[in-house]
Chain A
Amino acid sequence: MILLNTIVQGILLGGLYALFAAGLSLVFGVMRLVNLAHGDLIVLAAFLILSITTSLGLNPFAAVLIAAPIMFAAGWLLQAHVLNRVLDDDLLPPLLVTFGLSVVIQNALLEGFSADSQKLAAGPIEAASLSFGPLTVGVVPLMTLATAIAVIFALNQIFYRTALGRAFRATSDDAVTAGLMGIHAKRVFCIATGIAMVVATIAALYLGTRANFDPSIGPARLLYAFQAVIIGGLGSLWGTLIGGIVIGLAQTLGAAVNPEWQILSGHLAFAAILLIRPRGLFPRAND
């Protein structure tokens, strides 16, 4: 029964990692950009939600409705004025620019909010739980997984059911030919990064209500997100959800054996899957 409980907790934790990873997966899928600042952008969104809750006295779940459009705009501007300028056939410049951005965000947050740990106070829901027979499951972790599934479902609908999604996929396949169809690749990239920042804001909401955060934790979130994307297979959104769950499960099972093994177990699971399936569990056929 302890094992079952551990597995359930692991799957629920995987929902959080999938939320970290979904935006990364989206941006990589559309423009082949590896955003090394993604973790820090999530932490930035968490501080934005925190600022809204403290200044307006809102619940974080309400504050996210204000933070999400702000982050969409920030993502659009970041893409239009910084990332679009360095996206080219050469992978290195965007990698360096996002690495620099990561350092800038961390230091700016440190300057603005200090190194103190913060938490988003969501009220009684934080401690609420549901009982399923012998299992007791926290409401917030359950909501995290449900949100991750909803976000990935929504992103898939956008990708495969809308004109915007067709433009995403066409641009990803061949930006020059997409231009001949009237698609402005750079505008499409701005929308994609904007959406990724909305997803990052949702991830930040759960990051901040489940645990403490401070300006330095971004790179570790990026690492989990990366592992989830790569385990799932680059460009597959449902694969990213499974990848997040694999990392969450491995960490929780490792921690159950010995709390010191939590992070290591996640990395070991990642290494093991890379050895068996180097292209991830659900690779896109045409990459």
Chain B
Amino acid sequence: MTDPTPLLRTQRLTAFYGDFQALFGVDLTLNQGETVAIIGANGAGKTTLMRAISGIVPAPADAIRLRGEPIGALSPPDVLMRGIAMVPEGRKLFPSLSVEENLLVGAHARRGKGTWTLEAIYELFPILKERRRSPGTALSGGQQQMVAIGRALMSNPDVLLCDEISLGLAPLVIRDIYAAVPKIKAAGASIVLVEQDIAQALRVADQVYCMMEGRVTLQGAPAELSREAIHDAYFGVTS
């Protein structure tokens, strides 16, 4: 690696919900231009990891670094201002806002000029332009997911965190949504994906992390990982 400072790195990241410890020393590295996928069963800590990076769950300041700068202790708005946007689990559109307003609210803290404008989002997901006056929550699940992704892109992030963007969607819809990933990468964002669908994760990712019970149990490039190793890491089988 030529650049010693990765874009985003967590080191020995711990996170708690009250007394309950959800992450136990997670190390994750995202290099510029990469897509990292995080797989794991329910309760493995994947969403907590996303929430810690985005500032919703408090973390030690220097356990999360963006271009070497500690960002662990920042609030979600400040993390966004540094260039990390999140597509939250469950999409979380604002029911009082139309599709277009949901997208515009994503640009509330827009950082300078960038690729992602309303027009660019409508080009990425043309159906949203037709539905732009509808309340966000009146859309189908897949369309809502497109709004959630578009809303996060509107801040022109350097890092896009996607939490379970295929959850509860039909295979054809998932295919449409994942078709956007290369375009998002081409526009300059690096991506961290949380994904339950292992095959999907292996297809798009440069690096895969498997988590279990708040720890990383396996890490590597998709080509290097055997089905057995993933199976064991996912289900916690010790050989």
Contacts and interface: CB of A to CB of B under 8 A. Distances in A.
Nearest to B148: A177
B80 to A, nearest CB: 4
B86 interface: yes
B102 to A, nearest CB: 8
Interface string B41-54: 00000000000001
A167 B151 CA distance: 14
Interface string B81-121: 10001101000101111000100111011000000000000
Given A166-B101, A173-B97, A286-B96, A180 B108 contact: no
A91 interface: no
B75 interface: yes
A39 B147 CA distance: 42
Given A166-B101, A166-B108, A170-B105, A179 B96 contact: no
B190 interface: no
A174 B97 CA distance: 11
B155 interface: yes
B205 interface: no
Interface in B3-49: none
B76 interface: yes
Given A170-B96, A173-B94, 19 more contacts: A163-B104, A167-B108, A169-B97, A169-B101, A170-B97, A173-B95, A173-B96, A174-B92, A176-B76, A179-B56, A179-B77, A180-B152, A181-B106, A181-B108, A182-B77, A182-B108, A183-B109, A184-B75, A286-B96
11 contacts: A163-B108, A169-B94, A170-B97, A173-B95, A177-B88, A180-B54, A180-B76, A180-B80, A180-B152, A182-B109, A284-B96
- Those 10 A-B pairs whose CB atoms lie nearest each other, nearest first: A182-B109, A179-B76, A169-B96, A182-B80, A177-B92, A173-B94, A286-B95, A170-B94, A182-B77, A166-B105
